[in-house]
Structure 1
């Protein structure tokens, strides 16, 4: 029996933004491990499709429509899941969107959506679920989606990257709060590198400046050509979550390389620079 089977089989997993992308990969993998998976997404049809895939493969899954940008929706989710299933063993705060464009050109509505989904959705997911996890007294796991971008700089991906810097900081502090509390709740920061998902699809850029389309397509094509397989990436990362690792990477070498660059930047207090190779993407 693998570590993730040992820790997660038979438990309940709640995954936000699981109707597509990395969230759907985590949901299917949790189903394979024998978990009852609550697949949540703002798109109910997408959530139900993933839940049905899990059921068709012999697993157990429920689909729920949740808008993580609204704290009250996460309170409702926690109440309904605990009322139906009793307790939650694994919470993956995954829902997020990518936003591309110059800071001053991104419309206010798209800015607010990015901040509310990527930051507030994770913060309020934790706020809604942790009291119930603590009350259960059971061993639980919380995994928050950061990104390799949490340690980098990239003009015109500013909106996304600042949210991931924020989530990395939030997860570090949350880890220490659980330690201070003496709680049996393990916290992980999920750091995907380049994984094949739909995050850069053209239809995901609704509300962005028109000039963002070229950058979005270049990122989409690069991910499609060089990205890691979604199922393999989520399998590798869930194994690390089950092993109680805080740093959870799909591609550890990429994480280490990015961290080394970040450390050098901080130590030398250098001016921000566009990374090698990135300028080509920005010129599309």
Structure 2
């Protein structure tokens, strides 16, 4: 029987990038479990929309505008949350954007935004909250949004893939650090497979980042259609994520079979030590 309600019910959850996508799904699920949810997002209106959904379902939540690409805003978020609520049981560093385009075609501003949001937002989210989580002496859970992309490679999605490889490595090291210094804090790498979200919608992330090259449009459309047609229901995936976190798992998957396939491919790549190869099955995605 799932123990997520027992573990998380009644506590405080802080979720970044919770105005849409996986972040919103996690926020709704945390609210349904009885948590008070701090919905953090760079888009205040989107954050409030998630809050309204949680409240309409009988839960408790508040919206806070936070741009995770600025470390000082994550410090401000931590200050606010601990002052207002006293403690945090669940922290999910989810905020992220997809970036499409060949490495040399992606503008500097978009590269920097992708690194700052997807990677530095996770790192500084932990840095801002961890000392107070440790000082409380209470059990707490941290989830960092990795991806099946953390174990693979994909041309024209290089910026995103790089950040997810880094988030996975960061989470693995953080897990060991917690074991050494704060074993009451449980760290998870959340690994979505293919979920029905709007991350590949045209213009996604343009409100917080530089625009992508024109060549990205066709690639985005193909990926959007694939996720729309074959992705897992978002709320179901988020339910699975919190169930697994409640079991103190490090590896948290939406689609374990998909993760295993990608991991097996990665292992084979390392063992063979051959040059990267683009499978024919995905070549059409980036074909002009």
TM-score range relative to shorter protein: over 0.9
Residue 277 of structure 2 is aligned to residue 273 of structure 1: yes
Q: TM-score, normalised by structure 2?
A: 0.97
Task: Quote how far apart the aligned CAs of 1:97 are.
Answer: 0.3
Residue 179 of structure 2 is aligned to residue 175 of structure 1: no
Task: Quote how far apart the aligned CAs of 1:205 are.
Answer: 5.9
Task: Quote how far apart the aligned CAs of 1:96 are.
Answer: 0.2
Equivalent position of 1:243 in the other structure? 247
Residue 22 of structure 2 is aligned to residue 22 of structure 1: yes
Any conservation in 2 of the 1:197–1:230 contact (CA below 8 Å)? Answer: yes
Aligned length: 284
SS at match of 1:53: helix
CA distance in 2, matches of 1:190, 1:182: 20
Equivalent position of 2:69 in the other structure? 69
Structure 1 range deviating more: 145-154 or 204-213: 204-213
Task: Quote how far apart the aligned CAs of 1:275 are.
Answer: 2.6
Name stretches of at least 5 consecutive residues in structure 2 with no aligned partner.
Answer: none
Any conservation in 1 of the 2:196–2:227 contact (CA below 8 Å)? Answer: yes
Task: Quote how far apart the aligned CAs of 1:231 are.
Answer: 0.5
Name stretches of at least 5 consecutive residues in structure 1 with no aligned partner.
Answer: none
Residue 211 of structure 2 is aligned to residue 216 of structure 1: no
Give deviations 1:211-244, integer Å, cap 9, x for gaps: 0000000000000000000000000111001100
Structure 1 range deviating more: 156-165 or 196-205: 196-205
CA distance in 1, matches of 2:168, 2:280: 24
Task: Quote how far apart the aligned CAs of 1:277 are.
Answer: 1.1
Equivalent position of 1:254 in the other structure? 258
Equivalent position of 2:12 in the other structure? 12
Moved over 2 A (4+): none
Task: Quote how far apart the aligned CAs of 1:35 are.
Answer: 0.2
CA distance in 2, matches of 1:257, 1:148: 10
Structural RMSD (CA): 0.9
CA distance in 2, matches of 1:182, 1:75: 20
Any conservation in 2 of the 1:134–1:183 contact (CA below 8 Å)? Answer: no
SS at match of 2:203: helix
CA distance in 2, matches of 1:128, 1:82: 11
CA distance in 2, matches of 1:104, 1:188: 33
Any conservation in 1 of the 2:134–2:182 contact (CA below 8 Å)? Answer: no
Task: Quote how far apart the aligned CAs of 1:203 are.
Answer: 2.0
Residue 87 of structure 2 is aligned to residue 87 of structure 1: yes
SS at match of 2:58: coil
Equivalent position of 1:131 in the other structure? 131
Residue 163 of structure 2 is aligned to residue 163 of structure 1: yes
Given the alignment, which residue of 226, 230, 237 partners 1:233? 237
Structure 1 range deviating more: 20-29 or 173-182: 173-182
